[in-house]
C-alpha cells in the first residue's frame, strides 16, 4: 500500500490557514467582554455604583415602585480597527495582521448607556447599550 504524502506546498498552506484562524480568534477575544462587565455589577449596592460612575444622569420609577438609574459615558476608542489578511500566489503564501493598540489614532466616538434596576439597595437588572469594546471598560474592579 502506497503512503499518501502531502506536498510541502499543501502543508505550508495548511499551516498558514491555522495561523490565520488563530490570529482571527485572538482578535475576537481582545479585551474584556461587555457581558463580563455586566456580571461584575450584578448584586452591587447602589452606593458602590455611584462611587465608581458618579451620579446617574436620570432615574425612572417603574410601575412596581422600584427605580431604574441610567449612566451615560462618552469618549473615543483610541484604537485602530483590526485587519487580518491571507494572501497567496505562485511564489508562496502569507498572513498579515494589523492589530489595534489602545491610545493609537484619533479614535471613533463611543457611547455606553447603562441602566440599572435597583431592588432592595442592590443591582437586580441591567440594560447596557453601546459599543461592546467601550462598554466593557466599565467592569467593576
Q: Residue count of the chain, please give it.
A: 141
- Tell me the whole-structure pTM to 2 decimals: 0.59
pLDDT in single tens digits along all 141 residues of the chain = 666 665 555 555 555 444 444 434 444 444 458 999 999 999 999 999 999 999 999 999 999 999 999 999 999 866 544 444 444 445 555 554 444 455 544 678 999 999 999 999 999 999 999 999 899 999 998
CA gap 46, 39 in Å, rounded? 15
Counting Cα atoms < 13 Å in the Cβ hemisphere of 22 gives: 7
What integer pLDDT is reported at residue 64 of this predicted model?
95
What integer pLDDT is reported at residue 27 of this predicted model?
40
What integer pLDDT is reported at residue 121 of this predicted model?
95
What integer pLDDT is reported at residue 76 of this predicted model?
82
Amino acid at each position: 500500500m502506497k503512503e499518501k504524502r502531502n506536498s510541502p506546498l499543501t502543508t505550508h498552506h495548511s499551516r498558514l490557514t491555522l495561523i490565520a484562524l488563530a490570529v482571527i480568534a485572538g482578535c475576537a477575544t481582545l479585551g474584556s467582554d461587555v457581558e463580563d462587565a455586566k456580571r461584575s455589577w450584578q448584586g452591587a449596592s447602589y452606593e458602590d455604583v455611584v462611587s465608581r460612575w458618579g451620579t446617574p444622569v436620570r432615574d425612572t420609577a417603574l410601575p412596581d415602585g422600584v427605580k431604574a438609574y441610567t449612566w451615560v459615558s462618552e469618549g473615543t476608542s483610541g484604537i485602530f480597527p483590526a485587519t487580518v489578511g491571507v494572501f497567496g500566489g505562485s511564489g508562496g503564501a502569507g498572513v498579515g495582521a494589523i492589530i489595534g493598540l489602545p491610545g493609537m489614532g484619533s479614535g471613533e466616538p463611543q457611547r455606553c448607556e447603562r441602566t440599572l434596576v435597583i431592588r432592595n439597595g442592590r443591582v437586580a437588572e441591567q440594560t447596557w447599550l453601546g459599543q461592546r469594546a467601550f462598554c466593557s471598560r466599565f467592569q467593576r474592579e
